[in-house]
């Protein structure tokens, strides 16, 4: 077993992921085989359990969990879905605010991917052209989805113990989450949405940001486009995009930098300029913080 302890709460970006699941599983006879932070506030773990019978409860963990059964689970069931049992290859999606209780009656080995609502919100806007608050991750127990299962199985096979390996796992998890959004996004109930930006305004702002990532983009510029005060624009942008403007712009700049490093061999300074970073040092610092590798090392990895 990998004896690396779960991350502490000292690192602010990670505090919303680690405690609930690790407290729950470490309070049982579950053993942690492997664990890794993958960058982008994503984490992956493999657990195993050997038990005659034991009950486990997950209570509003505060993060989403994608679960993939690697082995066993034939007599494991969720109390809320009696008579439905697991098996290798089965998937579960557990939303951040869900509550569930499970009875484990046999040996079980499973992979978990942990991610925050922010990952779902960005994909809702970019991939489905939907407001994040319109969609929720479906709470599903034991389902099959070939593409997502294939990506989860590949995660088990790859190492996670070096920067290049972590990056490969990071790319795989991002692909899995896109697959998950396409297949497991559920429309929230509760009637018409209140507040937020009109869809046309949201698209106009998103398009403007994409077209101007190489330039300084201010709250005032966005407010002028939306014909709102800066105060109201900031509040409604957060509602409709799932994050404040500065965070959205920073994420889109990082995404563009990744795309440029993958698709071309232009000098790093040109990549920095095209993505709106102040200088090459600023670009390298932000890229390493977000991805875990320097831009040059990332390019080498992609090329290899």
In the 8-state DSSP scheme, what is residue 57? E
Name the 3-class secondary structure at 56: strand
Residue 237 inside a domain? The answer is: yes
Say yes or no: 73 and 144 in one domain. yes
Say yes or no: 134 and 210 in one domain. no
Say yes or no: 151 and 96 in one domain. yes
Last residue of a domain, one of 135, 158, 187: 187
Say yes or no: 169 and 267 in one domain. no
Please report, for the domain that includes residue 41, its CATH number.
Answer: 2.60.120.10
Please state the pTM of the whole predicted model.
0.82
Residue 161 inside a domain? The answer is: yes
Say yes or no: 183 and 204 in one domain. no
C-alpha–C-alpha distance, residues 120 and 178, integer Å? 9
How high is the pLDDT of residue 229? Answer: 95
Last residue of a domain, one of 161, 187, 213: 187
Please report, for the domain that includes residue 268, its CATH number.
Answer: 1.10.10.60
Residue 4 inside a domain? The answer is: no
Domain limits for position 226: 199-303
How high is the pLDDT of residue 23? Answer: 65
Q: What is the total count of domains within the chain? A: 2
C-alpha–C-alpha distance, residues 246 and 47, integer Å? 37
Last residue of a domain, one of 187, 217, 251: 187
Say yes or no: 156 and 291 in one domain. no
Say yes or no: 52 and 135 in one domain. yes
Q: Show the CA angle centred on residue 259, arms to residues 203 and 65, nearest 5°.
A: 75
What backbone torsions phi and psi does residue 8 show, to the nearest 5 degrees? -80, 175
C-alpha–C-alpha distance, residues 25 and 49, integer Å? 9
Per-run averaged pLDDT (10 residues), the chain, 304 residues: 37 53 71 88 89 83 91 93 94 91 92 86 84 84 95 96 86 92 75 78 95 95 95 93 92 94 92 95 92 88 73
Say yes or no: 210 and 244 in one domain. yes
Nearest to 233 by CA among 246, 217, 245: 245
Say yes or no: 181 and 209 in one domain. no
């Amino acid at each position: 077993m990998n004896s690396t302890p779960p991350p502490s709460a000292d690192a602010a970006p990670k505090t919303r992921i680690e405690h609930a699941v690790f407290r729950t599983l470490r309070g049982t006879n579950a053993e942690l085989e492997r664990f890794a932070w993958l960058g982008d506030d994503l984490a992956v773990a493999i657990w195993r359990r050997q038990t005659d019978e034991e009950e486990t409860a997950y209570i509003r963990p505060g993060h989403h969990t994608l679960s993939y059964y690697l082995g066993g689970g034939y007599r494991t069931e969720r109390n809320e879905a009696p008579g439905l049992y697991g098996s290798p290859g089965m998937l579960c999606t557990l939303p951040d605010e869900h509550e569930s209780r499970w009875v484990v009656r046999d040996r079980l080995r499973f992979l978990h991917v942990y991610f925050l609502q922010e990952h779902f919100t960005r994909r809702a806007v970019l991939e489905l052209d939907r407001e994040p608050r319109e969609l929720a991750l479906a709470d599903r127990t034991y389902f099959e989805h070939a593409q997502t299962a294939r990506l989860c199985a590949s995660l088990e096979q790859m190492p996670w113990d070096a920067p290049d390996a972590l990056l490969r796992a990071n790319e795989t998890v991002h692909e899995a989450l896109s697959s998950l959004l396409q297949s497991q996004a559920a429309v929230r109930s509760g009637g018409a949405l209140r507040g937020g930006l009109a869809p046309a305004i949201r698209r106009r702002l998103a398009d403007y940001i994409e077209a101007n990532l190489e330039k300084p983009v201010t709250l005032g510029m966005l407010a002028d486009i939306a014909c709102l005060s800066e105060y109201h624009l900031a509040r409604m942008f957060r509602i409709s995009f799932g994050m404040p403007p500065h965070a959205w712009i920073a994420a889109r700049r990082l995404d563009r930098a990744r795309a440029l490093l993958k698709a071309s061999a232009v000098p790093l300074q040109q990549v920095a300029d095209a993505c709106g970073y102040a200088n090459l040092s600023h670009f390298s610092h932000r890229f390493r913080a977000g991805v875990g590798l320097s831009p040059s090392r990332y390019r080498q990895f992609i090329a290899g």
